[in-house]
Amino acid sequence: MSKQTELVGLARTTKLDEVNDAYDAGALSNRNMIINGAMNVAQRSTSVTGIGATTGYFTCDRWRLGCGNTAGRLTASQTADGPNGISANCLKLDCTTADTSIAASELLIIQHLLEGQNVQRIGKGVAGAKQITVSFYVKANAAFTFVCQLSDVDNSRNISKLFNVTTDWVRQELTFAADVDDGSSPFDDNNATSLELNIWLHAGANYTGGTLATSWANAVSNQYAAGIDSFYSSTNNNFFITGVQMEVGPVATEFEHTSYSDELHKCQRFYYCFEKADSGGHNGFLAVSYNPNSAYLPMQFPVEMRATPTFRMGGLWATRLGNNNAFTASANTHNSSKIGGVFYTPVSSVPGSSAFWVEPSSGDTSNTAYLNFDAEL
């Protein structure tokens, strides 16, 4: 081997090592472990009222509201009021019913749940564990102090940091120490929840009665959110958040912008929704009957879902087989998988063993026809 060839090979190897190191440090694309951090995707709805009694996913995809035992109520909406250059959209919460008598078990959390197989880069629980930096843009109607918490679900460990909110958009940049505790195991490498990002906005003494756990520690609930204000203190209160990023390392890099289609596909791994768009546009799908009162609906998902989904169908639909029969849909899963399946629904007055078109009925003036497939964490 000539000296020149040897030097070229060494240069290539060195460059590859630099690229690998940069990738490990999260410096290249896909460094953001958060899905839909710009709040651009909202398959379920852009606004939901009366939230507060039940935990669930309501508006912006992948963002769950953890609610518990509070008289407070709120409206959640995807709102076009994001900070310039970051995102046009944000998740907005409006307090509609105040709760000033805070019981011990009350809570309100904005949550993002991450699969174990998607957080392996953190190296949790080993000597080479990495720091985690979380950044996000927030504002509110007044000054508040809230808590950002990371929760290691696999090992029942957590760490929290306070942050301050003002009436202007401000980027919060919070770096959490690496967890190299000998008693902490690595994240499970599977499709279940391993890590939670929790933004605490309201909590009772069960979660605030202790000292805030600002270092990784075994989970003690009264250390989760000590020192926070209450979002439910007044019906004047609102809270806005967008541009959420989680990355390895001690530095908050610029928010990573991705295309809408890329984010939509990531979200559809967890939730896929087929809704009425235009009853006159024949927005529907092919069905196959096996007797005059029942039909199978073959369906392939746009991406492989995280797990076999729960299937729901509702609203007013119509068969297009010369009779235009409207029917109120109800369905259950039959032979479903992560990539698709064949689903069953009752219909009426269709020939057995025939193929026909099914679409939202023209009588569905309230646009309630839907199919959805839920594989959320």
- What is the per-residue DSSP string for 133-163? EEEEEEEESS-EEEEEEEEETTTTEEEEEEE
Q: Per-residue DSSP letters for 2-47?
A: -HHHHHHHHHHHHHHHHHHHHHHTT-STT----SSTT----SS-SE
Note whether 183 and 234 are same-domain residues. yes
- Sheet-wide strand order for 193-203: 56-57, 64-68, 107-115, 193-203, 144-152, 157-165, 217-218
pLDDT at 161 over 60: yes
pLDDT the model gives residue 256: 98
pLDDT the model gives residue 338: 92
Which region among 60-64, 127-131, 141-145, 321-325 has the lowest average model confidence (pLDDT)?
321-325
Mean pLDDT within 169-178: 98
Note whether 241 and 321 are same-domain residues. no
Write the pLDDT tens digit of every residue in 74-110. Answer: 999 999 999 999 999 999 999 999 999 999 999 999 9
Which region among 32-36, 75-79, 228-232, 351-355 has the lowest average model confidence (pLDDT)?
351-355
Against a cut of 0.85, is the pTM above it?
yes
pLDDT the model gives residue 3: 45
Residue 11 covered by a domain: no
User: Which tokens in the block code for residue 204?
Assistant: 């009772």
Q: How far is CA 254 from CA 32, 133, 137, 138, 245, in A?
A: 10, 12, 12, 16, 9
Alpha carbon distance 277, 299 (integer Å): 18
User: Which tokens in the block code for residue 188?
Assistant: 């499970």
Write the pLDDT tens digit of every residue in 298-351. Answer: 888 999 999 999 888 777 777 776 555 666 666 665 677 899 887 767 776 666
Note whether 204 and 159 are same-domain residues. yes
Of 228, 245, 268, which marks where a domain is finished?
Answer: 268
pLDDT at 4 over 50: no
Alpha carbon distance 347, 327 (integer Å): 6
Which region among 144-153, 180-189, 271-280 has the lowest average model confidence (pLDDT)?
271-280
Closest to 330 (Cα-Cα) out of 318, 309, 319, 346: 346
Note whether 219 and 254 are same-domain residues. yes
pLDDT the model gives residue 251: 97
pLDDT the model gives residue 15: 46
pLDDT the model gives residue 294: 75
Mean pLDDT within 17-37: 69
Mean pLDDT within 130-140: 98
Q: Return the DSSP state at 184.
A: P
pLDDT the model gives residue 317: 76
pLDDT at 213 over 50: yes
Mean pLDDT within 233-261: 98
Q: How far is CA 266 from CA 133, 141, 269, 271, in A?
A: 22, 32, 6, 9
Write the pLDDT tens digit of every residue in 254-313. Answer: 999 999 999 999 999 999 988 755 444 457 778 887 777 777 778 889 999 999 998 887
Q: How far is CA 99 from CA 39, 108, 343, in A?
A: 27, 12, 44
pLDDT the model gives residue 13: 46
pLDDT the model gives residue 11: 43
Q: What is the CATH number of the domain that holds 99?
A: 2.60.120.260
**What is residue 266's three-state secondary structure?**
helix
- Sheet-wide strand order for 132-140: 47-51, 73-79, 90-97, 238-248, 132-140, 170-176
Mean pLDDT taken over the chain: 87
Q: Do 235 and 329 meet the contact criterion of CB atoms below 8 Å apart? A: no
Note whether 255 and 334 are same-domain residues. no
Note whether 97 and 239 are same-domain residues. yes
pLDDT at 73 over 70: yes
Amino acid identity of residue 169, one-letter, is: W
Q: Per-residue DSSP letters for 323-355?
A: S--EEE---EEEEE-SSEEEEEEE--S--TT-E
Of 223, 244, 268, which marks where a domain is finished?
Answer: 268
Note whether 201 and 52 are same-domain residues. yes
Of 215, 249, 268, which marks where a domain is finished?
Answer: 268
Mean pLDDT within 361-372: 74
Q: Domain residues for 275? A: 271-374
pLDDT the model gives residue 324: 54
Domains identified in the chain, total number: 2
Mean pLDDT within 66-77: 96
Could you give the percent of the chain with pLDDT greater than 90?
66
Alpha carbon distance 315, 278 (integer Å): 14
Could you give the percent of the chain with pLDDT greater than 70?
83
User: Which tokens in the block code for residue 359?
Assistant: 């679409």
Note whether 321 and 221 are same-domain residues. no
Provide the terminal-to-terminal Cα distance of the chain, rounded to the nearest Å.
Answer: 55
pLDDT band at 10 (very low <50, low <70, confident <90, very high): very low
Note whether 203 and 158 are same-domain residues. yes
Burial 330-341 (b: 16+ CB within 10 A, else e): ebebeebebebb
Note whether 68 and 146 are same-domain residues. yes
Note whether 225 and 327 are same-domain residues. no
**What is residue 358's three-state secondary structure?**
strand
pLDDT at 374 over 50: yes
Q: Return the DSSP state at 124.
A: T
pLDDT the model gives residue 288: 82
pLDDT band at 7 (very low <50, low <70, confident <90, very high): very low
User: Which tokens in the block code for residue 13?
Assistant: 């190897």
